[in-house]
Structure 1
């Protein structure tokens, strides 16, 4: 888990497909052994990138307080100006660590501020909205991919990454899809496009909900039900208010929870289509269980107020640091070589789930 959190998303995709070739008995080109790092070596590996992300977070926090502006937006924009640090050099491992492990820790700690009573107060609408959003986005992705001449695998991959949880969903779904010569390109493209679209949504959607006059709870339902990656959902939600951030996080984690049944269902259908050949392991997000555990402890009254306050402060700093790291990972130049059709599929899927969730929020809440 720790080593995975300092690998780039592209490296994870390359390694995944290389392991597939080995399982199929095909020759692989000098597979690199997984590094076993001591604690000291691990710290030396990640501290430059984490230090840069923390410095950006401190600068963003100071400016946000001085100008009364969203700290998450400052952290994101400052991070994007330092994208060159993620292209090569000693900072890459730390940037990956901050954008993954630090992010997940921050999200898990958010559970200390939420209770079951708050969740029950939302009613059944968020659950129905999430199930409908994920299901229809997958089906829409399949249809649109066919219309634009893309493979069914890309339709499922893109629909799942847009509908569930961005890059994490893309890698999980790709692990059970049939392997073709375009598979690796498709998953890396999906990771790049979904991260870019999620970053754009993080900036634009808070302005959209303000323009159409959604209250804090309905704004949280919309943001949590539409933005692709957890970090950007959290960033967009807490740009607006504490309540909006809490609701958006809960709705987003409902979408993350859909990863397991969706990937298992895809593996099942593919196994049936291929005559029963097995599927791959499904990664389960640990921060979802951490979040749920803290919600349960807080609901039962086991967390004292100083503990809840401390968890909230640590969570906030973790998320600002993670947003800064995500900014450093964001680039637009990789999209140019892929052509417009795969990008168009994912943009259309993003508009689809956005329109569906907005309709539910306006009509059913």
Structure 2
């Protein structure tokens, strides 16, 4: 009997360890779900949110009550507006034999607001309602279709099951009241004369061999093969901006980071000294992070105090990027328009 007790003890420890890998995780926000069962698939789910990381954790119990093999190809989280997000971690595809059960733990970084993501790079505040989307298909057998008249296996078309997860309205209201902050972003002013003036200026530059090309949209500028994308947000009187640059052209650019700035009307020039600018070369030549050669991808981050009461601001571009012999790529700076975030 003395030999049996340690064995039982070890077995219990092992069983407990396996159990903790699929146990339900409680987060800051806990969504209510209802189990769904059909003749082909049975699903129970627990969805929680961690506010600090803006992540969702889905603890799923999946089973196959049918008589044929069940293949789950995808599990996603979706907003009621239709924005879908695949898991950040966890296995979302599997095969379940008849009668088989599996526990799955998935983590999501959900895209909650598309417009905010385009403007700022952030995903927006958590939603009060999500849908867990499970894409699956089952086998079906067709008799007499093989050479020996044995049943041949084929698959039905994929089916998507939607399992709603709902946060109590009072809990969601309390979450927004505590964490939601009024914030703004900035877009390029597409109605200015910047495009016409810049195109005329490019015709005077001998360093640019290809025909002059200028295109400006709300968040991007394309200049003869060099693309600039702006993302920004301003909250608590602090501006955070990112400029992502990709060089498809045949010429190189030099970054003069001390000349790059975003200013609002009436802002003192001395405010530039409080700005923090970081340059990171994402890919391409590693010789000089401030040299943008063909094929290089560069990210510039700017952070500074920003108490802008006006609806406009200016992105100082005209001396920030230069060609050979210190020739500026931009003739003028470009005006920015304030955008209120949801």
Decide: shared fold, TM above 0.5.
Answer: no
> Shorter-chain TM-score: which interval?
under 0.3
Structure with more contact order per residue of length (Cα contacts < 8 Å, sep ≥ 6): 1
Q: Which structure has the greater CA radius of gyration?
A: 2
Greater helix content: 1
Greater strand content: 2
| TM-score computed with the length of structure 1 as normaliser | 0.22
| TM-score computed with the length of structure 2 as normaliser | 0.23
